[in-house]
Structure 1
Amino acid sequence: MFTNRYVRTIILSRVFLQLGVWIRNFAVLLYVTDITNNDPTYVSLISVVEFAPIFLFAIIGGTFADRWKPKRTMVWSDFLSAISVIAVLLALVMGEWYALLIGTLISASLSQFSQPSAMKLYKKHVAGDKLQSVMALSQSLIGIFTIVGPIIGVFVFIQFGIQVSLLLTFLFFLTSAIILSFLPRDTDDVKTDQAGSFMSEMKAGISYVWSNRSLRTLGATFAASGLAAGMIQPLMIFITIENLGQDKAFMQWFLMTNGAAMLIGGAFIMTVAKKVKPQVLLAVGLLVSAICTIAVGASKILVLSFALQALSGLFYPCVQVGIQTLLMKNTEAAYMGRVGGAITPIFMGMMVVGMSISGYLKDLSSLFAVYVLSGCLLIIGAWLLVPIMKEKQEKQTRAQSL
């Protein structure tokens, strides 16, 4: 994979981008909690400015990514993110700490333009049989930063403060933009002067998703798994306190165990990617996650809970890699940005819905009941994939008989 110039360059740029994002996120979180005396309203606003752009700009960014040249889009997105950090730093020096939230919103919004462009370059310049391995590599990178990102972010802020944290974020974002500038020039077959209007192209992208059975099915699976993830995400602290009798700080060890297992799982998928079909990978990941979710809700044994967290982390990359690979294989290059922009918000939207009702459901029933419901939703997500698996099998059978 690393012999491919596009993969090598994009992954390296993403290393620096992830460093900047994690340092910025924890610097903003810790600084805002300090300056507002742990005001929950302002703390919650941090999550809003990080997630809101996915709803507001995913389909818009995806549509523009299909209209614009991908290399140029990625370079300018990272460069403008770097400039926004400097603007926030200057505002902070003048005492306007609210600029931290605005700057985070701007940077998160720009990423909705950059990410679809990277997928377009992978679609065009990575061989079909290597796509799944590339997606596994990307997932492994996320796994690494799930472990080390919080450690780096907290360390930098505590040791050097908010201004140095933002300056490092600026440098990392700028480095990412510079690395991406070494990609080959965008080819002329990328249309920059589209005949159709922006709105007509955005509608065409949504229609494309709706008319494609595989993409419709993935959207439904996204909805089920997003709702399932959201329902249990706020409740992990209650697993730690109520089921296992630990204090809330102990939860970090669960998260680190899960993140380390994700890294190992992603590395393993890279070695077997060519042998396993993405729809099978996704279904297995969802089923194992369902079993682990239900078992975690029931477990009151510390060692067992750790083992379940590790097992869930090992198979979680199957879900992400399977979904991303299916999206790329079932989408034409011209619609890559719009398809990602239309489907990704489904997961995030349902996850937010799940998070908003999880506490109510726990009070209405029990912690274990919510985890069982979450596991059942994951099973439904896997069941929804059956038509795709049958369709792929029938096509393969017909191809072999010819």
Structure 2
Amino acid sequence: MNSLFKNRVFLIVQGADLLQQMGIWIRNMALLFYIMEQTNNNPTAVSMLTALEYLPIFVFSLIGGTFADRWEPKKTVVLGDTLSAFSTLLILLLISFGVWQAVFAATVISAIVSQFSQPSSSILLKKHIPSEYVGTAVGINQSLMALFTIFGPVLGAFVYSQLGLKSSIIALFIIFITAAIIQLFLPSYREKKTEKGSAISDIKEGFKYIMGQTNLKLIAAMFLISGVAIGITQPLDVFVIMERLGLPKESVQWFAASEGVGMLIGGTLAAVFSKWIDRHKRIVITSTLISWGIITVVEVLSIWPILTGSARTLSGVTTAFFEVVFSGMMIKEVEAEYIGRTNGIIMPLLMGGMLLGSTSSGFIVNQINLFSAYLIAAILTLSCTILTDRLKLDKKTLAY
């Protein structure tokens, strides 16, 4: 691990990620509170803010991943944060002229830029971090992201309450421009000059690459099914809190925080035991899916807050292990020139599954009951173990 902390690329990428997470939470809370003030707590306006954050993932994930594979990664991440920084100044100018709706653009621009910069960060790690340290690097990153899941809303709310919207936006500019500056110290990657085809042909090659890899096809199917299961239960958490535990709806935040704590613990453990996890991927993936299935049933059956909170914490731990395993596999085992497109094709399947699940969850509850919705989600999750049994994890690459 000491060698990892001496790795300049890891330190710079991690430092930029921390700044970006800080900026994202300041932005999220500032815009949420500001929009609620401007619309008199209109739930439609608030839900639109969330929709505008996730919609670009569907529209730009594949596009961003394709161009991340084509462009020099250092230039991409620097340009991305620079664009994010100066877009905040434009939004501040529009707000000063009374166009308060411009705040929605801040979410859209940030979400679009991230679809280009995130794959580029993975490419940098692929090229500059030894494969034996990738699991540890992903585990550390997961722990820090979980830390922001817990404390990010507190930070964002504090900045907005103390500084107000305009000063919060200026803080965003400073944060993103600082991230861009520190990434200027990343090493440049010079590719051998080869003639590149069109972006469309690159996208076709990306699909062909995934369809030619047995593991990637299985992972794509697993992400889609898991997404449906997550989507079914996610909107229903608040009803479990109220109907099963008899608590007010506001209590849902504490159970979400419990899961964040679990992700922090899981990310830390994954970083420490990354070599063991790397040698036992199948066991980790299978046990994670089984744990998710059991936890899902326990949550809907539990009438004790302590049991439900413990289940959510364990869910966070297993989620961290799951993400570390698959993030590590993507960085280590997918060929560098296909990382962006692979991410751009597979991740929307997860989001699409979540969208499908969330839209059907209300129908399931209305037609059957709450327990059945969670049972269906648990069965879907457990069914993924059939796919894990077919994964070829003894190979050095994801090739068939």
TM-score bracket for this pair, using the shorter chain length: over 0.9
* 1:252 match: 253
Q: CA deviation at 1:368?
A: 1.5
CA distance in 1, matches of 2:81, 2:333: 28
* Partner residue, 2:57: 54
Between the aligned residues of both structures, percent identity stands at 38
Q: Choose which of 26, 30, 42 in structure 1 pairs with 2:29.
A: 26
CA distance in 2, matches of 1:99, 1:363: 38
* Aligned equivalents of 1:360, 1:190: Cα separation in 2: 54
Q: Does residue 169 of structure 2 align to residue 169 of structure 1?
A: no
Match of 1:348 among 347, 351, 354: 351
* Preserved contact between residue 283 and residue 319 of structure 1 (Cα < 8 Å): no
Q: Which amino acid aligns with 2:366?
A: D
- Aligned residue for 1:111? 114
In 2 relative to 1, CA 213–259 (structure 1 residues): closer, same or farther, beyond 3 Å?
same
Distance in 2 separating the partners of 1:30 and 1:206: 41
Partner SS for 2:197: coil
Please report the TM-score for the alignment, with normalisation by the length of structure 2: 0.95
Name the CA shift for 1:103/1:80 in 2 (closer, same or farther; >3 Å): same
Q: Structure 1: how far apart are the matches of 2:286 and 2:354?
A: 19
AA partner of residue 146 (structure 1)? T
Letter in 2 for 1:331: V
Pairing partner for 1:334 from 333, 337, 340: 337
User: Mean alpha-carbon deviation: is it higher for 216-225 or for 132-141?
Assistant: 132-141
SS in 1 for 2:186: coil
Write out per-residue CA displacement over residues 124-148 of structure 1, whole angstroms, 9 at most, x where no aligned residue. 1111121111111111121011001
Count of paired positions = 391
Counterpart CA distance in 1 for 2:195 and 2:159 is: 45
For the pair 1:82 / 2:110, whether they are aligned, the reply is: no
Q: Is residue 293–residue 379 contact of structure 2 (8 Å, CA) maintained in 1?
A: yes
Q: Which residue of 1 aligns with 2:160?
A: 157
Match of 1:131 among 130, 134, 140: 134
**What SS is found at the alignment partner of 1:92?**
helix
Q: Which segment is superposed worse, 347-356 or 36-45? A: 36-45
Is this contact kept in 2: 1:292–1:308, CA < 8 A? yes
**AA partner of residue 275 (structure 2):** K
Deviations 1:2-29 (A, max 9, x none): 1111111100111110000011011111
**Residue number in structure 2 paired with 1:66:** 69
Question: Which of 188, 191, 199 is 1:189 aligned to?
Answer: 191
- CA, structure 1 residues 167+368, in 2 after alignment: closer, same or farther (shift >3 Å)? same
Provide the secondary structure at the position in 1 that maps to 2:390.
Answer: helix
Shift of 1:152: 0.9
Aligned residue for 2:237? 236
For the residues of structure 2 that align with 1:188 and 1:50, how far apart are their CA atoms?
A: 33
Structure 1, unpaired ranges of 5+: 397-402
| Counterpart-to-counterpart distance in 2, 1:249 and 1:41 | 19
Equivalent AA in structure 2 for residue 356 of structure 1: T
The one-letter code sitting in structure 1 at the alignment partner of 2:78 is V
In the TM superposition, what is the alpha-carbon distance from 1:73 to its structure 2 partner? 0.3
CA shift in 2, pair 1:57/1:190, >3 Å: farther
Do the aligned partners of residues 235 and 218 (structure 1) sit closer, same or farther apart at CA in structure 2, a change above 3 Å counting? same
* Alignment TM-score, normalising by the size of structure 1: 0.94
| 8 Å contact from structure 1 (residues 69, 190) kept in 2 | no
- For 1:238 and 1:358, the matched residues in 2 are separated by 12
Q: How do 1:312-331 residues align onto structure 2 when only pairs under 5 Å count?
A: 312-331=315-334
Quick one: which of 283, 293, 298 aligns to 2:296? 293
Cα pair 1:282 1:320 within 8 Å, conserved: no
Give per-residue Cα distances to partners, 1:25-62, cap 9 Å, x unaligned: 11111111121112222111111110011111111001
Q: Which ranges of 4 or more aligned residues in structure 1 deviate by more than 4 Å?
A: none
> How far apart, CA to CA, are the structure 1 residues paired with 2:125 and 2:78?
16
Task: Could you tell me which runs of 5 or more consecutive residues in structure 2 were left unpaired when the two chains were aligned.
Answer: none
Which residue in the other structure is 1:377 paired with? 380
State the alpha-carbon separation in 2 of the partners of residues 296 and 373 from structure 1. 13
- Contact kept in structure 2, 1:219 and 1:343, CA below 8 Å: yes
Report the RMSD for the aligned CA atoms in angstroms. Answer: 1.4
How is 1:140-151 mapped onto 2 (pairs within 5 angstroms)? Answer: 140-151=143-154
Kindly indicate whether the alpha-carbon contact (under 8 Å) linking 2:73 and 2:189 is maintained by their aligned counterparts in 1: no
SS in 2 for 1:300: coil
**Alpha-carbon distance between aligned partners in 1 of 2:58 and 2:245, rounded to the nearest angstrom:** 36
Counterpart residue identity of residue 370, structure 1: A
Q: Which residue number in structure 1 is paired with residue 206 of structure 2?
A: 205
Q: Which residue of 2 aligns with 1:400?
A: none
Per the TM alignment, residue 382 of structure 1 is displaced from its structure 2 partner at its CA by 2.7
Per-residue Cα deviation, 1:291-350 (whole angstroms, up to 9, x for no partner): 111110111111111111111111110111111122223311111111111111110111
